[in-house]
Amino acid sequence: MKNPPERTDIYPSESLDDARILEIGNRLKAGETCVIPTETVYGLAANGLLSAAIQKIYTAKGRPADNPLILHVDSPQRVQAIVTDISDDAKTLMRTFWPGPLTLIFHKQAHVPDAVTGGLDSVAVRMPAHPLTLKLIQAADVPLAAPSANRSGRPSSTRFSHVYDDLNGRVDMIIDDGDSPIGIESTVVDCTGEHPAILRPGQIDQAALEMVLKKNVPYATHTHGAPKSPGVKYGHYQPKGDVELCLGEDAQVHAYLAAKEFDAKRRIIASLEWADQYPSLPVTPLGSIHDFNSIMKTLYATLRQMDDEKVETIYLVAHPSWPESLLDRMKKAANHHVKTFENEA
Ligand code: AMP
Ligand code: MG
């Protein structure tokens, strides 16, 4: 195994025939690293059962060693080889939402390396809804550990250019598959206890989980006090400039921002509708509030754009009624620097 890689092989996804997929799978199995597309964000993959390969992920990303990784599988059957028990609720969630943007936490079998789990006795597993990724896992014939394909602390990569900027020359292979379809990371649900609990919100939201399981599915941090998911304690998704998240009614946020002075180093990020309403302010628009998926898809790219344009102060405008998954990523981008406007009605 070479470490660090001398060069990075880049493969456009449309160039990958079955023979090439098998070759990449074999290289992954042997311990090389490859950036793979998934439906959520790009992942930096390695053989999830080989400690030396997993170590390369931490080195390439600069990720803290106690922040565990998700194992990606190509079928529910492959889960049985890495976990000790699958609760009825977990089975229901797998049947309903896999393949898809839902990660489940199970008790791990002894042979799952500590390097994957950060020393925990549990392991995170997901079956992604991306045909090419499923073929790659099948070709590798092992679960692939794959955290988001960004340098630690930066926004997750949702475009090939993000992957290239962060990891070219630091990994063995990159697959270029254009833009990530969803744009934010998977929902994480802890299935190790008697009752499932949400560790990280995502596109599959609390209401969807509760409807399927016919019971309350609380946020773990609300019920257990200390965060159970090690990743939540780290700064995440942060652009280089200072970010303030402004949460309130459009007019209130506008009054607050209109009183500020703007130059090229200060910028507002807001929905298309907010931008249209206040054309005199320097707004970089996200998607439309009538399609939150479009906002999820563009959020990280827009935060990275602020770095490219050397913006030093960013006002991120959102509304308290927006999906929990979006507000969570936005709060992290703002390093929890949030200005909330009380409703005066
Ligand atoms: P990433 O793959 O970078 O999106 O991060 C994976 C997320 O899953 C992080 O927030 C981790 O802390 C969380 N995670 C992974 N494994 C576990 C585990 N065994 N228990 C709890 N959380 C986990
Ligand atoms: Mg990440």
pLDDT in tens, 265-283: 999 999 999 999 999 999 9
CA atoms within 13 A on the CB side of 256: 18
Average confidence score pLDDT of the chain: 93
What's phi and psi for 241, nearest 5 deg?
-75, 165
How confident is the model over 225-254, as a mean pLDDT? Answer: 79
Q: Which atom of ligand 1 is nearest to the CA of 192?
A: 20
Q: Is the pLDDT of residue 222 over 60?
A: no
Q: Which residues contact 128 (CB under 8 A, 6 or more apart)?
A: 38, 39, 40, 72, 99, 100, 101, 134
pLDDT of residue 236: 67
Confidence of residue 64 (pLDDT cuts 50, 70, 90): confident
Distance 108 CA to ligand 2 centre (A): 21
User: Closest Cα partner for 172 from 59, 26, 34, 46?
Assistant: 34
Least confident of 61-70, 92-101, 124-133, 138-147: 61-70
CATH 3.90.870.10 in the chain is located at: 9-213
Confidence of residue 342 (pLDDT cuts 50, 70, 90): confident
- Which is the CATH superfamily of the domain at 242-340? Threonylcarbamoyl-AMP synthase, C-terminal domain (3.40.50.11030)
How confident is the model over 167-173, as a mean pLDDT? Answer: 97
Query: 194 near 226, Cβ under 8 Å?
Result: no
pLDDT of residue 226: 45
CA distance 284 to 179: 19
* 249 φ/ψ sector (left φ>0, alpha ψ -120 to 50, else beta): beta
CA atoms within 13 A on the CB side of 13: 18
Q: Are strands 102-107 and 34-36 parallel, antiparallel or unpaired?
A: unpaired
**Protein residue whose Cα sits closest to atom 21 of ligand 1:** 229
98-127 pLDDT tens trace: 999 999 999 999 999 999 999 999 999 999
Q: Which residues contact 316 (CB under 8 A, 6 or more apart)?
A: 243, 244, 245, 246, 269, 270, 330, 333, 334
CATH 3.40.50.11030 in the chain is located at: 242-340
Q: How many residues does the chain have?
A: 345
Query: 300 near 207, Cβ under 8 Å?
Result: no
Give the H/E segment covering residue 244. Answer: strand 242-247
Task: Kindly state the DSSP code that residue 148 receives in the 8-state scheme.
Answer: B
Q: Are strands 102-107 and 187-190 parallel, antiparallel or unpaired?
A: parallel
* 118 φ/ψ sector (left φ>0, alpha ψ -120 to 50, else beta): left
User: Closest Cα partner for 144 from 45, 51, 76, 56?
Assistant: 45
Q: Which two tokens stand for residue 18?
A: 């079955």
CA distance 65 to 45: 16
Distance 144 CA to ligand 2 centre (A): 15
Confidence of residue 233 (pLDDT cuts 50, 70, 90): low
Q: Is the pLDDT of residue 66 over 90?
A: no
Least confident of 199-213, 229-243, 258-272: 229-243
pLDDT of residue 238: 84
Distance 191 CA to ligand 2 centre (A): 21
Q: Give percent of the chain above pLDDT 90.
A: 88
CA atoms within 13 A on the CB side of 304: 21
What's phi and psi for 148, nearest 5 deg?
-60, 145
Q: Which atom of ligand 1 is nearest to the CA of 116?
A: 16
Question: What CATH class has 9-213?
Answer: alpha beta
pLDDT of residue 31: 98
Residues near ligand 1 (Cβ within 6 A): 67-68, 70, 105, 117, 120, 122-124, 147-148, 185, 188, 199-200, 228-232
Query: 143 near 48, Cβ under 8 Å?
Result: yes
Residue spans of beta strands (DSSP E) within 9-89? 9-12, 34-36, 43-47, 70-72
Q: Which atom of ligand 1 is nearest to the CA of 199?
A: 22
Coil, strand or helix: which one is 95? helix
CA distance 88 to 177: 35
Confidence of residue 231 (pLDDT cuts 50, 70, 90): low
